Structure 1
Amino acid sequence: MTPSAPAAPRELSDLWSEIHPQDLPPPALVRHALVEARLRRLHELAPDLFHLEEVGRSVEGRSLNLVRFGGGPRHILLWSQMHGDEPTATTALLDLFEYVRRHREHPRVARLLSALTLHALPMLNPDGAERFQRRNAQGIDINRDALALQTPEGRTLKAVRDRLQPSLGFNLHNQSWRTAVGGTGRPASISLLAPPFDVARGDNPGRVLAKKVCAVIRDALEPLAPGQIGRYDDSFETRAFGDNLVRWGTPTVLIETGPWPSAEPDVPLLRLNFVALVTALEALASGAVEHADVARYESIPFNESKGLLHLVIRGAHVFGEAGAAFLADVGVAATLAVRDREGSRSVVLTGTIEELGDLRVYGAVELVDGTGLTVVPLPPGGVKEGDVLPLPPRSALTLRVEQPAELMLLRPVEPAGNYRVERIIRYGY
């Protein structure tokens, strides 16, 4: 590979494994104090490279910290976690900083630092992050505060944008785990958007640039997540920061991190974010972005915001709230939550029954063949897979929408009236 050649996606994926700090907790457990400590340490290790500035305070007085590095003429602004329960990109930015620190002498990184000046707000909503909630401590959605500017966090982002006048912004979020790519039923692990600047959703040079950056990211991520790259809804939102930054002269790229089909989704999703950011910044630094094909962005399938379930059991016997058992699909939706237990925090996946009936139009992270099985609520006590037991009384068989997804799948065995527990489904609560 020549010094000027861009990094291949697989190479960047391997680099992420090398530079990601192993002592970091899962993204959902990263809090303001940890981010602030990491930024201070970053500055101590490379004071000539990383410059820190407190640019504001949250409602509850937590510092809003801006990281600056690079000395190029093109200014880029990145911000993450304006929604407190959307944490993936905050850790991905910490990984980006570590990559630049460790590899600053590499020709690709040196070119990036000479062509770009990067400004990053890794955690815009620290009060929301503390609670793992979308809104800030006032109860306001910061991403709907671009015009009213009722939040100190929103005012800070607007002030930073106005002072720096960046040529491009990266708006980093997480999206619902119900999000599928088009009608494919596949999880939208990363969704991209070049937001419009008006209701007509027209183009100007800035939006065309953002589309080209999205095209570069798509081409980098598809080898790592084939069929799992979607396009976010491009309706104009009058109050949103991304849309208004385009109107104010800073085109933006929205990156939304979604579901990943594995029991441990954080690692692959962090990899995708890291590869997306490094690839996009390298393309901006080298000028390769100007040659990107806008059609590669335009052909990304739009998301289906409710097209995905976490688990679907196909064709099982189900007891509804009345009547005899019937054949149906059971659909479970899941979401991440943070639980405080005995003074320690943990991340759990919570699940609820979202749909009952004919669910053929839904995709799922996991499909279970329910042929010949009966799905019933998991009873209290020590039931385990392989146990043989009689069918519980009718009052204990009912499945209903919004019920916690604590279930067992039963198969009839001899003697008649007995059932073997084939599988237990339990989510953390």
Structure 2
Amino acid sequence: MIEISSPATLSALWEEVRLPERPPLPLVRHAQVEAWVRRLPPDLFQVEVAGHSVEGRALYHVQVGQGPRQVLLWSQMHGDEPTATTALFEVFEYVRRYREHPRVQELLSTLTLHAVPMLNPDGAERFQRVNAQGIDINRDALRLQTPEGRTLKALRDRLQPSIGFNLHNQDWRTSVGTSGKPASISLLAPAFDAARSDNPGRLLAKKLCAVIRDAVEALVPGQVGRYSDAFEVRAFGDNMGLWGTPAVLIETGPWAGIDADAPLLRLNFVALVSSLEALASGQAEQADLGRYDSIPLNDGKGLFHVVVKEAHVFGEAGEAFIGDIGMTAFMAVRQRQGAPVAVIAGQIADLGDLRVFGAVETVDGRGLTAVPLPPRGAREGDLIPLPPRSLCGVKVGQPAELMLLRPAKSAGMWRVERIVRFER
């Protein structure tokens, strides 16, 4: 039995197999997926059109391997959850480039991988959660009113995979328990009934989650959380288990800094390759279930992207007070000069005493006054007068555009100490 790759090895390998021409994640559209599919060597990969979206876009089924164990992976059933779509093609590139390596040989001879890299291309085109009908595909497992949902169900029924990987992104406010750390990767072996029963398939999914936890936590300690396992009767992941295909849910979450694409893709690559190699080698069955059970539960609203601590703040009315300012951030697509661009947008989400929340970044606001950034802008180090009271108000729902001011030696002037700004 071949040992699975170490997290450090896979992290380094990702630098070799990452896709150099990839667009920013929110701009990965169906045309890009088609271009990547066309590059897959036909002597190694088989590609079919498994179905079509509401607006007629092809839903691609990519197959690689000759092993007896069938594995189904699907990504971007929510159009605004793009990370794993690119990550899957980086896994394909790893398989292509290292096809002669003993680990990849074992994987391909033991498993047959089936992937739907983009299940909701119409939603991806709009960068929205739902499909073109306005339906959440992941809540359509029973009625099957979406062509995308019917395609996934038909593929599962035809292949009868022994395990599935359900790949998503989650809210950037999600923290790992009460640690205050971002849940950059969250894991779940979804329940297949309301009693949250276990069977051999769900136990295997839990063990695969344990493998992923150990691999990812080696790179980002404390940033792996566990998604709620409350049974969702309408969801695909839950019903897959009921139909005989236990699933591993991987939710990609927040990351420190503006450029989150590369580190989150690296984590997805390490998670997927580690778990697939463990499944192929048989080491997944030997994983410690306790490593799954002890993953801290997520707190879905426990995290801000930035918190300014203990600044002087003018609210909508009244005198200035000492308070914290919590700002959220999220991936978004905006039109600039008639073309779509990917941005990290943000807004002010809370004011007051926010000590019970975590933050990706904490800014020390003591001795500083926080006011909205003026339309004309400002630069750090500028000396400016304090804006009129009518322009100093900070309130929930405003764009996350603030400047932090310190009284200067010059009478009536203030120095811009720090600017905190996200896109609108």
Normalised-by-shorter TM-score class = over 0.9
Deviation, 1:406, is 1.2
2:369 pairs with 1:371: no
Task: Report the AA paired with residue 422 of structure 1.
Answer: E
CA RMSD of aligned residues (A): 0.9
Deviation, 1:390, is 1.6
Give the corresponding residue for 2:2: 4
Give the corresponding residue for 1:403: 398
C-alpha separation between the residues in 2 aligned to 1:268 and 1:13? 10
**Alignment length, in residue pairs?**
424
2:228 pairs with 1:230: no
Q: Which secondary structure does the structure 2 equivalent of 1:92 belong to?
A: helix
Deviation, 1:339, is 1.4
Task: Report the AA paired with residue 22 of structure 2.
Answer: L
Q: 1:347 aligns with which of 342, 351, 357?
A: 342
Task: Report the AA paired with residue 317 of structure 1.
Answer: H
Give the corresponding residue for 1:119: 114
Q: 1:174 aligns with which of 166, 169, 172?
A: 169
Q: Which secondary structure does the structure 1 equivalent of 2:130 belong to?
A: coil
Give the corresponding residue for 1:185: 180
Q: State the Cα deviation string for residues 161-205 of structure 1 (Å, max 9, x = none).
A: 011010000000000000000000000000000000111111111
Give the corresponding residue for 2:11: 13
Q: Which secondary structure does the structure 2 equivalent of 1:47 belong to?
A: coil
Q: Which secondary structure does the structure 2 equivalent of 1:260 belong to?
A: coil
Deviation, 1:38, is 1.1
Q: State the Cα deviation string for residues 221-248 of structure 1 (Å, max 9, x = none).
A: 1111100000001100010000000001
Q: Which secondary structure does the structure 1 equivalent of 2:39 belong to?
A: helix
Give the corresponding residue for 2:62: 67
Q: Which secondary structure does the structure 1 equivalent of 2:157 belong to?
A: helix
Give the corresponding residue for 1:27: 25
2:258–2:344 Cα contact (<8 Å) kept: no
Q: 2:207 aligns with which of 194, 209, 212?
A: 212
2:18–2:90 Cα contact (<8 Å) kept: yes
Give the corresponding residue for 1:161: 156
Give the corresponding residue for 1:92: 87
Deviation, 1:382, is 4.2
Q: State the Cα deviation string for residues 110-133 of structure 1 (Å, max 9, x = none).
A: 000000011000000000000000
Q: Which secondary structure does the structure 1 equivalent of 2:344 belong to?
A: strand
Q: 2:274 aligns with which of 257, 273, 279?
A: 279
Task: Report matched runs for 1:127-138 at 5 Å.
Answer: 127-138=122-133
C-alpha separation between the residues in 2 aligned to 1:335 and 1:316? 24
Task: Report the AA paired with residue 35 of structure 2.
Answer: A
Give the corresponding residue for 1:83: 78
2:227–2:297 Cα contact (<8 Å) kept: yes
Give the corresponding residue for 1:313: 308
Q: Which secondary structure does the structure 2 equivalent of 1:243 belong to?
A: helix
2:295 pairs with 1:297: no
C-alpha separation between the residues in 2 aligned to 1:313 and 1:288? 46
- The answer for unaligned runs of 5 or more in structure 1 is none
TM-score by length of 1: 0.98
C-alpha separation between the residues in 2 aligned to 1:379 and 1:250? 55
Deviation, 1:423, is 1.2
Q: 1:37 aligns with which of 26, 32, 35?
A: 35
- The answer for unaligned runs of 5 or more in structure 2 is none
Name the % identity: 69
Task: Report the AA paired with residue 374 of structure 1.
Answer: T
Deviation, 1:268, is 0.8
TM-score by length of 2: 0.99
Q: Which secondary structure does the structure 1 equivalent of 2:375 belong to?
A: coil
C-alpha separation between the residues in 2 aligned to 1:389 and 1:24? 42
Deviation, 1:387, is 1.3
Q: 1:47 aligns with which of 22, 34, 42?
A: 42
Task: Report the AA paired with residue 295 of structure 1.
Answer: G
2:3–2:281 Cα contact (<8 Å) kept: no
C-alpha separation between the residues in 2 aligned to 1:99 and 1:123? 19
Q: Which secondary structure does the structure 1 equivalent of 2:232 belong to?
A: coil
Distance 1:142 1:9, change over 3 A: same
Q: State the Cα deviation string for residues 270-310 of structure 1 (Å, max 9, x = none).
A: 01100111010001101011100011000000000000001
Deviation, 1:428, is 1.3
C-alpha separation between the residues in 2 aligned to 1:400 and 1:261? 24
Task: Report the AA paired with residue 390 of structure 2.
Answer: S
Q: State the Cα deviation string for residues 145-166 of structure 1 (Å, max 9, x = none).
A: 0001010000000000011010
Deviation, 1:136, is 0.2
Deviation, 1:345, is 2.2
Task: Report the AA paired with residue 363 of structure 2.
Answer: V
Q: Which secondary structure does the structure 2 equivalent of 1:68 belong to?
A: strand
Task: Report the AA paired with residue 159 of structure 2.
Answer: L
Q: Which secondary structure does the structure 2 equivalent of 1:301 belong to?
A: coil
C-alpha separation between the residues in 2 aligned to 1:378 and 1:242? 44
C-alpha separation between the residues in 2 aligned to 1:294 and 1:272? 22
Of the structure 1 ranges 130-139 and 413-422, higher mean CA displacement relative to structure 2 is found in 413-422
